[in-house]
Amino acid sequence: MIERIVPAGTETAEAYGDLPEATLFPEEELIVKSAVAKRRGEFTTARHCARQALTRLGAPAGAILTGERGAPQWPEGVVGSITHCDGYRAAVVARPALVTSIGIDAEPALPLPSGVLDAVALADEQVAIKELLASMPQVPWDRLLFSAKESVYKAWFPLMRRFLEFEGARLVFDPAGGTFTAHLLAGPAIAGSRTLHTFDGRWLSENGIVLTSVTVPA
């Protein structure tokens, strides 16, 4: 699924549950040494997916540690993103000559718990999401908004090295095209010599999973 919403030239891997062959490096074991079994399984299989993607890219597939705010630490010359949720784990990697930054997020295709939409969405986003839920109820638009904001953050953080609040971006969805635009209200993102006021994203809702991606091309 994930390969359908990321650019050509990236490498991906995914799994629909924990894989018995997935293992961790000792350095990675330390990250989840106190984690519950569910968290440990998701982390382990997501790292396994990341190493599969790195191998396909021709990059070193060693330990992937966590850095500031839990961001994956990729090998030199690689950008990427990892996600996992109930029933799904995935990773995407690319070379900086193709992609400056990328973020992916997966969520179960279920409505958000009560009150969460109010906490993560701007007033005009809430109106738009409620209209979409009324016209296209087969898509969990509230959960999709949450996922898209997570992908925006994952693409934003490697560029800006600072937190982006949920209200720091206003999202506008194209229901027919499977795309969305994130207007960066917290200020522009700096990507090399470029100043970006928007990020472009893609979305997919299928097989009980909501997937989103945001790519900043090189």
The pLDDT tens digits for 123-152 are 999 999 999 999 999 999 999 999 999 999
What is the distance between the alpha carbons of residues 211 and 76, in angstroms, rounded to a whole number? 27
Instruction: Provide the token pair at 177.
Output: 């095209």
**Mind listing the pLDDT tens digit for each residue in 85-99?**
999 999 999 999 999
What is the distance between the alpha carbons of residues 180 and 139, in angstroms, rounded to a whole number? 14
Instruction: Provide the token pair at 15.
Output: 């799994």
Q: Percent of the chain beyond pLDDT 90?
A: 99
Number of neighbouring beta carbons within 10 Å of residue 138:
8
- The pLDDT of residue 69 is 86
What is the distance between the alpha carbons of residues 77 and 109, in angstroms, rounded to a whole number? 34
Return contacts of 18-24, CB within 8 angstroms, 24+ apart. 18/42, 18/44, 18/45, 18/89, 19/45, 19/48, 21/48, 22/47, 22/48, 23/48, 24/63
Mean pLDDT of 47-59: 98
**Mind listing the pLDDT tens digit for each residue in 159-200?**
999 999 999 999 999 999 999 999 999 999 999 999 999 999
Which CA distances in Å does 58 have to 18, 26, 34?
A: 24, 23, 33
Mean pLDDT, the chain, rounded, equals 97
Q: What is the pTM of this model?
A: 0.96
CA angle, residues 18, 166, 162, in degrees to nearest 5: 85
Strand partners for 151: none
What is the distance between the alpha carbons of residues 67 and 169, in angstroms, rounded to a whole number? 24
Instruction: Provide the token pair at 131.
Output: 């209209």
H helical segments located in 116-191? 116-120, 123-135, 141-160
- Are 14 and 1 in contact by the 8 Å Cβ rule? The answer is yes
For the chain, the C-alpha Rg in angstroms (whole number) is 17
Is 27 in a helix, a strand, or coil? Answer: helix
Mean pLDDT of 24-42: 96
- The pLDDT of residue 204 is 97
What is the distance between the alpha carbons of residues 82 and 91, in angstroms, rounded to a whole number? 4
- The pLDDT of residue 99 is 98
- Are 90 and 82 in contact by the 8 Å Cβ rule? The answer is yes
